[in-house]
Homo-oligomer: A and B are copies of this chain.
Amino acid sequence: MPDTSPTAAMLVIGDEILSGRTRDANMHHLAGELTKHGVTFAEARFVSDNHDSIVAAVRELAARYTTVFTSGGIGPTHDDITADAIAAAFDRSIDVRDDARTILEDHYARTGTQINESRLRMARIPEGASLIDNPISAAPGFTVENVHVMAGVPSIFQAMVASVIPTLAGGPPLLSQSLTIHRGEGDIAGPLRQLAEEFSDLSFGSYPFQRDGAFGSNIVVRGTNGGRLDEAMTRLAALFEQANA
């Protein structure tokens, strides 16, 4: 499928998921939001809490894709090293910034919480970054060039995504339709390949599954032209109805 839509990548930072302790939820959420907005989600990376790994990944992804989202590592604890790594990746200085400090001070005054040195770490913002609103716990995310730096806590991550997505240039939303075929991929691969070649403006994915000991496949057809998608699905259904007969 020729693809001229804007691209996005995600960098998930932290040992939590790589150690097998928890499952990621943020990538799946972002994937759905980007697809709705017509942005192609082209790559995701998970790295541990390691300064050099974060810096290298941010540089590579920011250079390769239109937009990058990061998740995790912007809290107050010693293992929250994302903000410093982002500053390093863009050769910018970083320090507690007055606007971010004010946001935190106002929030903690309202909730009767003591601000301390650890909490103040969350006001460390790379030079020239713009802030991303955190309606849940105040500590802001931030944007440096094409990189949006967000919290890892899913409720906060989702709120930040909701405020950033509308600012991105989107493409036409990517539509998809799917058909479940209860036959092994080996039986359907030949005709499917021919159909995919004929409808080269659409993308055809085949996702095999095994259920109750039998193999099947979900065929997902994606594209931005709803009429062509309908046409392809009609052909697809006829193809395997015929082959099943």
Q: Which residues of A contact B (CB under 8 A)?
A: 14-24, 27-28, 31-35, 41-49, 53, 75-80, 113, 116-119, 121-122, 136-137, 152-153, 155-156, 174, 176, 184-190, 192-193, 196, 203-210, 215, 217, 220, 222
Contacts and interface: CB of A to CB of B under 8 A. Distances in A.
Contact of A193 (B43, B77, B184, B193): B77
Contact of A19 (B35, B78, B215): B35
A23 to B, nearest CB: 5
A158 to B, nearest CB: 12
Nearest to A12: B44
A204 B79 contact: yes
A118 B31 contact: no
A153 B209 contact: yes
B185 A15 contact: no
A35 to B, nearest CB: 5
Given A44-B45, A53-B43, A189-B118, A21 B78 contact: no
Contact of A76 (B20, B28, B185, B203): B185
A43 to B, nearest CB: 5
A106 to B, nearest CB: 15
Contacts of A136: 210
Nearest to A155: B210
A45 B45 contact: yes
Contact of A205 (B49, B119, B122): B49
Contacts of A27: 17, 24, 46
B210 A118 contact: no
B210 A15 contact: no
Contacts of A31: 17-20
